[in-house]
A and B are shown apart, each in its own frame.
Chain A
């Protein structure tokens, strides 16, 4: 049993690895170098991004969500005194199925090609506080935007749902 005819010196080829940079990375520092955005699919279903000017707060995304990950949060009042609601996505529940994007009537909700979401924890926190902190931070709030790198979206294409 052999895997082809290889030279007896073939183990020495590993020596070239001495002069190469390591493949492993220091995660938070080198993140952008290692995961270039070009490698991600153009229709990748990553973290959400919502255009607040377009969003009418209809709540269709909340209704279609299979895992109850979207909550409509009141962010203010309009001139008539009615509450303005915008979606908040909880990534502890989200399954990245993209039905909320399919159903959005104004195409304001889209998915980006970002897939890394990091939460900074404070060292002085107790374990219980830290859990609560991560729970609150592991959400996409209406004022956060990842709009520069759009992945999965219905765009001009024919609507799938709704």
Chain B
């Protein structure tokens, strides 16, 4: 330890009286996930103070949504989370349907559920890959990125686009399943299940991961609730809360969702949580495909390009791979939303928890800490 570079650096800093210097971690840092940054005040390699530096994402989603028609916003909302776009579409459409007081057909609910779970798979693969890359295991990241592409191919067959699907619209979904889609999906699910053994060997049983992540960013059971963490991060601290079970939407009331919780609350537990939920998601898609009913895929709401939503307000929440996505939609009875407020899952961890965890942390651990909490900056900058 005595001759390690970080120790030497802090010694030099002490000797030369260079007490505190500023380091911009992001937006142009390879360990940063998007247009976001932390201004770190450091002594040597140890962080003293952290200042989140948001505002690089220029879109201003919430304000922009007030200037577009109800249906036009569907092309905009998926951009709030690039890795996991479908929860945004479903939450926005569910909020509109709540104000309209309509119930969509069962088949549409199942189709939405399948896209949501496929999106969760692709996002988990990206998240695990980011975690692997943050500690230098690029082989795992490359394999996971290649496997994610198989799911993107399936999305292309189902919706016509690879990344931003724009699949849900108020009243249902846009397309029915394509010919041969179900067989292709089963094939990919089998492939991913086989791959899990390889992921375990490469990543989750790897001593490097265990050494780097054990004890990093510990969140206690009470703190997780206090800071407003949701999703896998909350469940990894021992709180059995899942929106799919506690406030079910889409087809989740018909499906038996198993909530996985773990005690522990550190970065390693969160990494293993994602891996366990990945396996459960594969089984959930299989169950959804088996129980999917036939029927209509869309409710006739008249001309959607001239859709007028009656006066009212609604909140809809959806469990994404990172946590709870909530849309609070207010309508004044016009052609455009009066106000849309987005609750992103990364905001509490990225802004508040960072102030608590990052001080006294070494600079090498920041990227791994961010990847373990699945911080996706566009939710912060909406």
Residues on A facing B (Cβ under 8 Å): 1, 3, 40-45, 60, 63-64, 66-67, 95-99, 102-103, 111, 151-152, 158, 160-162
* CB <8 Å contact, B201 and A1: yes
CB distance from A78 to the nearest CB of B (A): 26
Q: Which residue of B lies closest to A96 (CB)?
A: B161
Q: Which residue of B lies closest to A43 (CB)?
A: B160
CB distance from B173 to the nearest CB of A (A): 10
* CB <8 Å contact, A64 and B164: no
CB distance from A44 to the nearest CB of B (A): 6
* CB <8 Å contact, B76 and A66: yes
Interface size class on chain B is 20 to 34
Bound: A160/B298 CA distance, A? 9
B280 within 8 A of A: no
* CB <8 Å contact, A97 and B75: yes
* CB <8 Å contact, B175 and A43: yes
Which one, B49-57, B66-74, B94-102, B352-360, is touching chain A?
Answer: B66-74
* CB <8 Å contact, A41 and B303: no
CB distance from B188 to the nearest CB of A (A): 15
B205 within 8 A of A: yes
Chain B residues within 8 Å of A102, by CB: 174
CB distance from B58 to the nearest CB of A (A): 15
Bound: A42/B59 CA distance, A? 32
B169 within 8 A of A: yes
Would you give the 0/1 interface string for B129-166, flagging 1 where the beta carbon is closer than 8 Å to chain A?
A: 00000000000000000000000000011011100101
* CB <8 Å contact, B174 and A160: yes
Q: List 23 A-B contacts (CB under 8 A).
A: A41-B157, A42-B157, A43-B157, A43-B175, A43-B178, A44-B160, A44-B161, A45-B161, A60-B305, A63-B305, A64-B69, A64-B71, A64-B72, A66-B69, A96-B161, A98-B160, A98-B166, A99-B71, A99-B72, A160-B304, A162-B303, A162-B304, A162-B305
* CB <8 Å contact, A66 and B68: yes
Chain A residues within 8 Å of B298, by CB: 158, 160
Chain B residues within 8 Å of A67, by CB: 75
Q: Which residue of A lies closest to B207 (CB)?
A: A1
* CB <8 Å contact, B156 and A41: yes
Known: A43-B178, A161-B303, A162-B305. A1 touches B205 (CB 8 A): yes
Chain A residues within 8 Å of B73, by CB: 66
Q: Which residue of A lies closest to B173 (CB)?
A: A160
B198 within 8 A of A: yes
Bound: A99/B206 CA distance, A? 47
> Could you list 4 further interchain pairs (A-B, Cβ under 8 angstroms) beyond the known A41-B157, A160-B304?
A1-B206, A64-B71, A102-B174, A161-B305
Chain A residues within 8 Å of B75, by CB: 66-67, 95, 97, 99
CB distance from B376 to the nearest CB of A (A): 20
CB distance from A76 to the nearest CB of B (A): 28
* CB <8 Å contact, A42 and B178: yes
Known: A44-B160, A66-B76. A161 touches B71 (CB 8 A): yes
Chain B residues within 8 Å of A44, by CB: 156, 160-161
Give me the 10 closest cross-chain CB pairs, A-B, nearest first.
A66-B72, A97-B75, A45-B160, A66-B75, A41-B156, A43-B160, A41-B157, A161-B304, A152-B160, A161-B305
CB distance from B179 to the nearest CB of A (A): 8
State which of A40, A42, A64, A152 has its C-beta within 8 Å of the C-beta of B305.
A64
Bound: A111/B159 CA distance, A? 13
Bound: A106/B164 CA distance, A? 27
Q: Which residue of A lies closest to B164 (CB)?
A: A95
Chain A residues within 8 Å of B303, by CB: 161-162
Q: Which residue of A lies closest to B179 (CB)?
A: A42
Chain B residues within 8 Å of A66, by CB: 68-69, 72-73, 75-76
Chain A residues within 8 Å of B156, by CB: 40-41, 44
